[in-house]
């Protein structure tokens, strides 16, 4: 199966919905194929083990659920640093 990968950075000062629209366009380019999107969305949500949920986080979680995206979250703490890996895969 042919798969596609994309990395996305969503700057906190940019319009969030415009960035979400770009993600949706990427998704449309890979119908019936694997798609892995790695992104820094500047969205905070307890869904991926953050202490709080902000507006971006609520919107992103709603979009993930609406589009039935498979998601996984991993929390790692080491050397005083907290690393949160959040992945979404779309077929």
**What does the pLDDT look like over 52-69, one tens digit per residue?**
999 999 998 888 888 777
Name the phi and psi angles at 77, rounded to 5.
-125, 130
Residue 91, pLDDT > 60, answer: no
What ranges in the chain are assigned the alpha helix state H?
Answer: 16-28, 55-66
Q: What does the domain layout of the chain look like in residue ranges?
A: 3-90
Angle formed by the axes of helices 16-28 and 55-66, nearest 10°: 20
Q: How many CA atoms lie within 13 A of 80 on its CB side?
A: 0
pLDDT, mean of residues 7-35:
86
Q: pLDDT band at residue 13, thresholds of 50, 70 and 90?
A: very high
**What Cα–Cα distance (Å) separates residue 79 from each residue in 82, 83, 85?**
8, 11, 17
Domain spanning 3-90: CATH 3.60.10.10: yes
């Amino acid at each position: 199966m042919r798969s596609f990968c994309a990395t996305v950075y969503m700057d906190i000062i940019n319009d969030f919905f415009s960035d979400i629209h770009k993600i949706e366009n990427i998704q449309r380019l890979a119908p019936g194929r694997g798609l892995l999107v790695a992104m820094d969305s500047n969205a905070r949500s307890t869904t991926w083990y953050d202490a709080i949920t902000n507006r971006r986080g609520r919107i992103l979680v709603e979009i993930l659920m609406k589009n039935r995206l498979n998601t996984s979250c991993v929390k790692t703490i080491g050397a005083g640093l907290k690393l949160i890996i959040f992945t979404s895969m779309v077929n």
